[in-house]
Structure 1
Amino acid sequence: MRDFKRLLDTEEYGFLKEHPRLGKRIILLGVGGSYAYGTDNENSDIDFRGITLNLPSDLLGLTQFEQFEDRDTDTVIYSFNKMVRLLLDCNPNTCEILGLEKEGYLILTELGQELLDNRSLFLSKRAARSFSGYAQGQIRRLQNAIARDSMPQARKEQHILHAVQNSLEDFRSHYESFDKGSIRLYIDKAENPGFETEIFVDASYRHLPLRDYENMWGVMRSVVKSYDKIGKRGQKDDNHLNKHAMHTIRLFMMAIDILEKGEICTRRTREQELLLKIRNGGFRREDGGFAPEFYDILADYEQRLEKASKESILPEEPDMEKVEAFVEKINRKALEV
């Protein structure tokens, strides 16, 4: 890995020392993006991601602070309290900050190390929904950028179904079975001409507020429309499409590690060859679509994630009593900085 620490002493990154919310309040700063994943090339941008302690006025007064961004250097530093909220949801972009290799951390204070030592507090089965949701978003971007038939129709129906269920995070708990009716989505033999299979809905409602009904179907309609858009070739750079495809698989890899092992592994050394092959266009067809082999890999990881979610060693939800005790401990120390 490149020596990124030398950049911290340059004028370009002077804000890290000079900004009143940063400086000695930064407890962790690491490399992000392709350099963190091990999929970088000569064109890769340098991204830094970090965590800074909240000011006493945030904790005891009326000021509010969520994150600092420097667009010129692509640096994002989250406040500790915001980071905790994102970690509790197993947000992929923030989970990866806690899973870097040792040399990936440019700043790591005693409190930063304490956070790394306690990262398991934030891991739960929420990771399955969160990471899968992000991955499905990547797939939709691919589908909107290439021709409709780039993915077999039957496979696309599977992705639409998964995307709908992930977009409605509380779908099962609120809409599948409750005292005003029920709804079930499933795939069966198609009735629409030209389709092999399609998604069907069995729904029954009584006395359901109209706005709840409109909201539920609005989310589903939005997902279906995003998949049905026909992308025009040339609108998206091939390199960007390949990166979307690579990140889709990478997200599944990280989620499976979290669910099966309770570990955050950001750098994908073992799978580096596969990820770089995807990034370098090794699964693209001459017509701009992706080869069936790519979708086979994708289907395999989807199945593995579903299995890992069912058999996970992680709790359904984080232990909030322990999380709150840890957050209070760190914030008490933040008052002394």
Structure 2
Amino acid sequence: MKRIEVEQRSILIGLAGSHGYGLNRPDSDLDFRGVFIAPKRYYLGFDNIEQKDTGWDEPGIFPFIDGNKDTVIYELRKILQLLAGANPNVLELLWLNKYPVLTEVGQYLIKHRNLFLTKKVKHTYSGYAFAQIKKMETHRKWLLNPPQKKPLPADFGIEAEEPLSKDELNTFLEYLYILIRGRIEFLEEAEQLYKLLTADIDFKGVLKQYTLPTETLEYTENLTHGRKDFIRLLQKSQSYQIALREWKAYLSWQENRNPVRAEMEKQSGYDLKHGMHCIRLLRSGLEILQQGEVIVDRRIAGDVDDLKAILQGKYSYEQVMQMAEDLVAQMDAVYETSTLPHKPDLEQINQLCIELVEMQGWS
């Protein structure tokens, strides 16, 4: 869809990111997030759209997003799915302080925002925080012990043959995932395991991200009827491709680092921004479980100075990690007593979607 079509059907656009958190500096980018309702052909025809995240240099009606690369406007059905899944990045959109665009339909959506608060926030907010920790750990490793050379197949015992390519690995792992899923799909006693592997976690992603453990190779060989030498090559190729991916990420990190941020990282020994977002996410998740409310603006939450102190390097890596560990323990305890429902009422959310579309109309 053209930018102007999306803007004409936008029901809300909010100022998110550092400005929403109250952590912005004079040079901070403007991050706009919004919601629009697609026209009739996208609901009743074959056309499909989930979000608009490019093309802001096209002619439009909202000059504040002209040329802004940090703008994403989600189609209603897409954002309702993300909200129902307690996605931290979109939940906060309904609790912002500033909306440059807010229609009557958008206000109706905000009025029903509590529909999306469930105990799932414990898992999503801690999961997003853990992703920040992983980035911190990776960058810290690069800072303290940077890789010295590009990995070679021979480093992983691949001498007389070519390593499997990324596409070849992914094709085989897709096949392995289907076989594993098929083995348990219709076994009543494996119902919970099937749900875990197909809905609760991205098991296919796990297969592709990590090297197959040695103790699983014989099972993989038998399940796929693969040759032993091929399965061993598969494992070695996985290790090689993961190392190669990390090497490329390291080079990109070196090339694209903000000089000021790089100097702060060097002095503190970890990525301060990832550390701050880790703590912010965990505190936000804890607040939702305790209070049934999303507090986006950290000035209102009362910890904005503390978060800025992390950004300024006033906390060591060990202190930030201890803070994260303590917050996770608090979330575990509060989870048991929280009055939030365990899961969202999808029927109510579906009805809300219908009402919003009818309010917006097709023209």
Question: Higher mean Cα deviation, 66-75 or 124-133?
Answer: 66-75
1: distance between equivalents of 2:191 and 2:361? 51
- Tell me the alpha carbon deviations over residues 139-182 of structure 1, each in whole angstroms, 9 at most, x when there is no partner: 000000013898xxxxxxxxxxxxxxxxxxxxxxx9xxx84699
Aligned counterpart for 1:283 among listed residues 315, 319, 323: 315
How big is the shift at 1:114?
0.8
Q: Sort the Cα spacing of 1:180 and 1:89 in 2 relative to 1 into closer, same or farther, 3 A.
A: closer
Q: Is the contact between residue 36 and residue 266 of structure 1 (CA under 8 Å) also seen in structure 2? A: yes
Aligned counterpart for 2:125 among listed residues 128, 131, 134: 131
Aligned counterpart for 2:347 among listed residues 293, 309, 321: 321
In the alignment, which residue of structure 2 is the partner of 1:187?
none
Q: Sort the Cα spacing of 1:245 and 1:61 in 2 relative to 1 into closer, same or farther, 3 A.
A: same
In the alignment, which residue of structure 1 is the partner of 2:141?
147
In the alignment, which residue of structure 1 is the partner of 2:80?
84
In the alignment, which residue of structure 2 is the partner of 1:245?
275
How big is the shift at 1:336?
4.3
Classify the secondary structure of the residue corresponding to 1:137.
helix
1:43 aligns with 2:75: no
How big is the shift at 1:82?
0.6
Q: Is the contact between residue 147 and residue 232 of structure 1 (CA under 8 Å) also seen in structure 2? A: no
Mapping of residues 191-210 of structure 1, within 5 Å:
210=223
1:293 aligns with 2:323: no
Q: Sort the Cα spacing of 1:317 and 1:280 in 2 relative to 1 into closer, same or farther, 3 A.
A: same
- Tell me the alpha carbon deviations over residues 191-227 of structure 1, each in whole angstroms, 9 at most, x when there is no partner: xxxxxxxxxxxx9xxx99947xx9xxx9xx99xx89x
CA RMSD, Structure 1 to Structure 2 (Å)? 3.6
Classify the secondary structure of the residue corresponding to 1:326.
helix
Aligned counterpart for 2:338 among listed residues 290, 295, 312: 312
Give the aligned residue type for 1:273.
Answer: D
In the alignment, which residue of structure 1 is the partner of 2:90?
94
Classify the secondary structure of the residue corresponding to 2:35.
strand
Q: Is the contact between residue 56 and residue 334 of structure 1 (CA under 8 Å) also seen in structure 2? A: no
2: distance between equivalents of 1:56 and 1:311? 44
1:75 aligns with 2:71: yes
Question: Higher mean Cα deviation, 239-248 or 46-55?
Answer: 239-248
- Tell me the alpha carbon deviations over residues 267-313 of structure 1, each in whole angstroms, 9 at most, x when there is no partner: 111010110001122124xxxxx2x3222211121111212222221
**Gaps in structure 1 of 5+ consecutive residues:** 1-14, 151-173, 184-202, 285-289
1:65 aligns with 2:49: yes
Give the aligned residue type for 2:73.
Answer: I
- Tell me the alpha carbon deviations over residues 40-72 of structure 1, each in whole angstroms, 9 at most, x when there is no partner: 112311111111112111122221111111374
How big is the shift at 1:99?
1.3
1: distance between equivalents of 2:354 and 2:324? 41
In the alignment, which residue of structure 2 is the partner of 1:33?
17
2: distance between equivalents of 1:331 and 1:105? 20
Classify the secondary structure of the residue corresponding to 1:30.
strand
In the alignment, which residue of structure 2 is the partner of 1:117?
111
Q: Is the contact between residue 36 and residue 76 of structure 2 (CA under 8 Å) also seen in structure 1? A: yes
Question: What is the aligned-residue identity percentage?
Answer: 30
1: distance between equivalents of 2:143 and 2:47? 52
Mapping of residues 223-262 of structure 1, within 5 Å:
235=254, 237-238=261-262, 241-262=271-292
1:332 aligns with 2:358: yes
Give the aligned residue type for 1:300.
Answer: D
How big is the shift at 1:318?
0.7
2: distance between equivalents of 1:266 and 1:49? 14
**Gaps in structure 2 of 5+ consecutive residues:** 57-66, 145-183, 194-214, 225-230, 266-270
Aligned counterpart for 1:271 among listed residues 273, 283, 303: 303
Larger radius of gyration: 2
